[in-house]
Amino acid sequence: MKKVEGYPQPLGVTIKQDKVNFAVSVSSGKKCELLLYRAGKTEPAQVYEMPEEEGLGEIRFLAVEGLDVQKYEYNFRINEKVVLDPYVRELARTRKFGEVPDADLHRVRGRFPTSFYDWEGDHILKLPFEEVVAYSLHVRGFTKHSSSGVKQKGTFAGIVEMLRGLVRGYANVSVASSALSRSGRTVMGKCPRCGKDVVEGKKSFFCEGYYDTPPCGFALWKNNRFFASKRKELTRKITAALLRDSRAHVTNLFSERKGVFYDATVVMVDDGGKYVRFELEFDKRKGAK
């Protein structure tokens, strides 16, 4: 094995052919070392320094050639304290359940991943952060409780039992027929810029191409000045008509200048900029009310 030049991203361990890259974030002024152990051993077989001057900002990195990842485990030592890789994917440790291993005694070490989980096409939901409601679940405590009703208590298999029970319990529940996007949001129509679904968010009706690279910036903001000045709300119905026909007939629009209400056709003008513009068309046969 020999130390060679590595790269700072991604953090953690990256295995490429005969070279293994290590990258870790370490505060300025601290000493950092890579510890390599023979599998199952609690004494480092090899120690490589990761000096600050060879790093990039607060990222220390190096690569090791000729490392047999099936025969070795690893840790970092920062200012003489042994620490696990924050991005470690597998652990080698004591098999006694409930016993907390001491990293400083090298009783817990990182393993090199030799296989990766197959997500079978699943991907991140890509929800705007402000709309996320996240829950944390303690698997052992949740499935150990008498109310769980599962046989395999204290395990992920118990969670699987519970999920299967939920699926069976709701098998005959009907689902509303409104069109939903892959993210679960109601589809209002197609984006005039890229053709993808426009869906409803908390503050706007936006194109799901927003998550692409480069992103599609099309959006109809619910609190836009045009509708607010006319004392109207940008509703789903109006939005659907604008996306379908680029225009929507709207009643009871307010004129600030005349102080009266009137009916008109709102025309959507999209020139590809940050904001969509709106114009009014009037039926000459109808005057203000």
pLDDT in tens, 73-119: 999 999 999 999 999 988 887 666 666 767 677 889 999 987 777 77
Class of CATH domain 2-111: mainly beta
47-to-62, 76, 103 alpha-carbon distances in Å: 12, 9, 16
Among residues 10, 112, 107, 8, which one has the least CA distance to residue 67?
A: 112
* pTM greater than 0.85 (yes/no): no
Sign of CA dihedral 80, 81, 82, 83: negative
In the chain, where the domains are located: 2-111, 187-281
pLDDT band at 181 (very low <50, low <70, confident <90, very high): low
Cis preceding linkage at 128, omega within 30? no
What residues have CB less than 8 Å from 225, skipping those under 6 apart? none
pLDDT tens for each residue of 128-151: 877 888 888 888 888 888 788 888
Q: In this structure, what token pair is assigned to residue 253?
A: 């629009």
Residue 214 in tokens: 């480069």
Closest among 130, 136, 92, 129 to 114, alpha carbons compared: 92
